[in-house]
Structure 1
């Protein structure tokens, strides 16, 4: 399928099969999809060359992480920047081969995967998309100076294996290995975030916007936010988080800035409506960019791996002066604005990461033993535009008052403005952070299992997950690597999972699609 679009890596893929026309549902034109396939093929060739050479250069490892991240959904829509990345990858491939005196491996033609036997295609896609997600976490950790040679080596190995014929017996364990390595990635990122920005603490965040110049920061990169806060201090420009940046308010080294005012808007797929005519500047730090409308495209800036044609890019020097000057020029709202979430609430809470929850573990355990808490639900994952995602709102609303809802990632915007009350002094709804913070949820589950002297699967804990892109894929693989069973997944199952691979997941892990909130709640609670 060379030189034409074939993309089925995200949940919104056309017809739950694949985007094959002139543009993907995400707005990605065919030229960009082809450029991403070419970049991926070059990365596989680079990985194979590094394997043949017996080592990967530092530049090769950086290019692999950056290139994988650039191909995650809603990161890069700019054909020219992708071509430049591909050229850098090819040049490094040649340099590695020459230095080691080995034959340079050719770029891999992605059509060999897309046209393969459906089970091989399914498993290779699962590995590739999982590695893309894990590379995103590694990218953020690298930005904060944290690296792990074993993680870097695995990216090389996994990509190189995609060029091999493959079999179910080889590729299924490789997919689980992606989950194992992603757990290490998330642990590394958790260490990087907490050592740099402090341990998250519960915070209440307003959705109101004050008058005057302002900047909205979206994506996931906390370091970019920190640098922007430093550069805007004393400039009369307020800063608001958006989407997955909401948990930034829980970190002491970010929350200390008085001009970090609140959170603007909700999840990524609502950008075109919520950003329409916004009188402030917009900074995209990582994935979750939607093709901007003309009413606000002249105030969009990108940085890092994010790119969109004709949008100004803040380079590696991270000088945000153009963003700040644009915000001042736009002037902001003349009067304070009152905004609400999808359910009418105007205050969001966050900061219930592992440090907070485990600090009150005795209270949680006692409350469970006393019977006040009967069940925990992890309702987490990506949000998206496909119909059916109201399921997650209805599910959370229907959870009994003696249950606790843990959440993370942008799917929480379906319900995080609800007031579910409290149990034993603890809120029934606890936001644990970004999708990057799934490690916190895992650590809490493991700690509870240890406290009750049982396995995680024996806990009164159910996972009801929503997925959209490749970071959700690698988190799912991590949960499977850990042996966690009976996950409910929706709103649809991944298009790249073949019937036979799905059967493997069902038989070994009990994965099941969501049905209705009422039926799923009854099943999970044993009613």
Structure 2
């Protein structure tokens, strides 16, 4: 196998051999490459044949399936490949049996990318991993009935581009276009979530698990949580969020359910320890799955494109009866249990989306002009298991008392239980939501720039980001599309960035690797 699409890849070079660091086998990695090659073939087929909404869905689901920590199941990946082939045959009937094949609809061999010149491999990897992230956001919007033809069209274009013999000058504009399209996609998802579930409101979330049967829901998909809340209402089962599901507590249409009790645990990489011997059912809705340990494998359920061998899967009919029955069978804890965050806190706060922050924009601007708020830090992104991520905890702890920390995604679990006080009625740590809510942070930055009549790069704002998987890649490309510079990125730089591509990013966008928290903080504050 060869895979270097996530931050924890072996030796910061790439996972090879029989198994990746994430736990996927060489056979699964091979199947994912075959699926990607089939998607490229489908995209090329649509160059001369009309696609449909079904084709769009296959493209989006197929790309989402190849994200890190989504599917560890070769069987279900091959079922997805069959769906791709069936869709290709449907829109181009007879093409597969043509005696004079043109090659325009052939599947692509991903080895051509992995063995290409390192700069071409780097740019094509940026493009591929970027659109995998875009597809994840597009998927969450799609299941709520929201789609963008601009986004869908670009996924076809990008996939077809991967198969072309192009130079760096031709590839680079398509890579950067990924950021532009992802901005559209994130705006679409933001609208889908807020129009469906309401505007998030600041909410305090307990980390206590009450006695009795319960289900822990992890991942990102708010629709799955809503359906589960509906099906468990009145059945004596409490629901707890985990990881990226924490922001669900801030949405009016979700928090109205009294049995949505609180948040259990922290970020995704701690689940094997946190879920061990847990007397409750666990539902995985999107990426963030780690190979389940034997001690709790019998109570794990998956849905959507998430899949692991032997794990019970809830299909598109969304009948969560098996999950409910398992929760009732296990019975939960006999007494209430109080859990804590990484730093010992017992409560978390979320719900500071752009709707809330921008309502107080005048108040924030006045506080900055009066000197009450000196600087803003966006400290967010993916969490992970690799050493060096304590940087983000230490960085936040050392920020001065006249600064505000905006955060989102699961990287916030490194510090979101800290009590750093408040400034002018605002808590110093404001959780803006999931990684899916990165659009909100961009919207706030742009609005503040307009209020101060300056560019985003001139704001008293520094971005300190952590990355792990492909959604972080497309968010980074969006920031580059917006011309945002001086981003600090860590805990290590992507293995798929060649020296020349990295140099381009450094020269044009002044991207820096994180270093010592104190020294970095001094640089940002000037």
CA distance in 2, matches of 1:380, 1:359: 22
Q: Where does 1:345-364 land on structure 2 (aligned, <5 Å)? A: 345-364=345-364
Matching residue of 2:70: 75
Deviations 1:394-432 (A, max 9, x none): 000000001000000000000000001000111110000
Matching residue of 1:14: 10
> Matched residue of 2:405: which SS?
strand
**RMSD over equivalenced CA pairs, Å:** 1.0
Alpha-carbon distance, 1:170 to partner: 1.4
Alpha-carbon distance, 1:61 to partner: 1.1
Matching residue of 1:163: 163
Alpha-carbon distance, 1:52 to partner: 2.6
Matched, 1:29 2:29: no
CA distance in 1, matches of 2:490, 2:73: 30
Matched, 1:56 2:81: no
Deviations 1:112-165 (A, max 9, x none): 000000000000000000000000000000010000111111100110010001
Alpha-carbon distance, 1:56 to partner: 1.7
Matching residue of 1:282: 282
Q: Where does 1:336-415 land on structure 2 (aligned, <5 Å)? A: 336-415=336-415
Matched, 1:193 2:200: no
CA distance in 2, matches of 1:224, 1:322: 15
Alpha-carbon distance, 1:58 to partner: 2.1
CA distance in 2, matches of 1:60, 1:354: 33
Matching residue of 1:522: 522
CA distance in 2, matches of 1:521, 1:372: 19
> Matched residue of 1:98: which SS?
coil
Matching residue of 1:45: 41
Matching residue of 2:223: 223
CA distance in 2, matches of 1:226, 1:90: 33
CA distance in 2, matches of 1:113, 1:59: 28
CA distance in 1, matches of 2:412, 2:475: 16
Deviations 1:216-246 (A, max 9, x none): 0000000000000000000000000000000
> Matched residue of 2:430: which SS?
strand
When the two structures are aligned, how many residues end up with a matched partner? 521
Matching residue of 2:210: 210
Matched, 1:305 2:305: yes
Matched, 1:458 2:454: no
Unmatched runs of 5 consecutive residues or more in structure 2? none
Deviations 1:89-117 (A, max 9, x none): 01211222228999561110000000000
Matching residue of 2:60: 65
Q: Where does 1:412-451 land on structure 2 (aligned, <5 Å)? A: 412-451=412-451
Matched, 1:87 2:82: yes
Deviations 1:502-526 (A, max 9, x none): 0000010000100010110000000
| Superposition misfits of 4+ residues, deviation over 4 angstroms | 99-104
Q: Where does 1:452-491 land on structure 2 (aligned, <5 Å)? A: 452-491=452-491
Q: Where does 1:118-197 land on structure 2 (aligned, <5 Å)? A: 118-197=118-197
* Distance verdict in 2 for CA 1:324–1:506, change over 3 Å: same
Deviations 1:429-472 (A, max 9, x none): 00000000000000000000000000000000000000000000
CA distance in 1, matches of 2:260, 2:158: 40
CA distance in 1, matches of 2:416, 2:20: 30
CA distance in 2, matches of 1:83, 1:205: 40
Deviations 1:246-270 (A, max 9, x none): 0000000000000000000000000
> Matched residue of 1:52: which SS?
coil
Deviations 1:275-324 (A, max 9, x none): 00000000000000000000000000000010000101101010101100
Unmatched runs of 5 consecutive residues or more in structure 1? none
CA distance in 1, matches of 2:374, 2:87: 56
Return the TM-score normalized by structure 2.
0.98
CA distance in 2, matches of 1:13, 1:52: 38
CA distance in 2, matches of 1:414, 1:60: 40
Matching residue of 1:266: 266
Matching residue of 1:257: 257
CA distance in 2, matches of 1:65, 1:517: 39
